[in-house]
Amino acid sequence: MAVVLAAGYSRRFGAADKRIARLPDGRRLLADTVTRAQEAFPLLRVVLREEDDPAALGLPRETPLLRAPRAERGLGASLADAIAAIAGDDALADTGAAAILLGDMPDIAVTPLATLSSQADRSRILRPSYAGHPGHPVFFGRDFWPELAALNGDDGARDVIRRHRDRYREIAVEDPGVCRDIDTPAELARGATLLIRNGRGTKAPAS
């Protein structure tokens, strides 16, 4: 399954909500990322703040959501809230691993997501790499979920990976999108150029 983290405040992006920034094909950043993730994963949850309106973020009404009550504390806290929720969901009891995606990475192709998903299991941590650089998403087997659920603050899961280097593996992929997130308006503009080159078009934004 996939967990799309989208509860952050993206302060480097400025006053605007990065999640609804427009891509050259007219889609909003978060909605586009979620759509691509849904193509690769039969199960998915999108993590939002408690006060977020998914419709205002461009998400379809049927999008499966998780709320992060501690989102203001940082990425680690949001991830912990999400993992605790899916670990306690009886409907997901047979889920062996979760791919942790960032909501600001619309350039990831479906193929590497499917490739890593087919190799994930409950006892390993898998991560794509491009040209020697580690990327996203990171697949955490269920064995590591208790440690993820204990995270707090903004540190993310780096320490979990460090503690389990013997069960961590990077898989080389031919997709630079696994290393490209969008933190600033300038990065969004650069990403738009790359999307056009990759044939995703320049349809006028919807109103």
pLDDT in tens, 146-164: 999 999 988 789 999 999 9
For residue 28, what is the DSSP state? Answer: B
* Rounded CA separation 141/6 (Å): 21
Cα–Cα nearest to 9, from 68, 55, 83: 68
Q: Which residue has the higher pLDDT, 11 or 65?
A: 65
Distance CA 100, CA 140 (A): 8
Structure tokens at 145: 């979920």
Give kind and range of the element (H or E) at residue 66: strand 65-68
> What's the pLDDT band for 191 if we cut at 50, 70, 90?
low
Higher-pLDDT residue of 136, 202? 136
pLDDT attached to residue 200: 41
Q: How far apart are CA 146 and CA 138, in angstroms?
A: 16
Residue with tokens 């192709």: 109
Residue type (1 letter), 87: A
pLDDT for the residue numbered 195: 42
Residue 88 exposed, middle or buried by CB count within 10 Å (0-12, 13-18, 19+): exposed
Q: Which one-letter amino acid corresponds to residue 80?
A: A
Sign of the dihedral defined by the CA atoms of residues 109, 56, 207, 104, in that order: negative
Rounded Cα–Cα distance for residues 114 and 21 (Å): 26
DSSP 29-84: HHHHHHHHHHHH-SSEEEEEETT--GGGGT--TT--EEEETTGGG-HHHHHHHHHH
- Tokens, residue 40: 């690769």
Please, are residues 166 and 78 in contact by the beta-carbon 8 Å criterion? no
pLDDT at position 76:
94
Share of the chain above pLDDT 90, in %: 71
* CA 180, 31, 58, 207 torsion-angle sign: positive
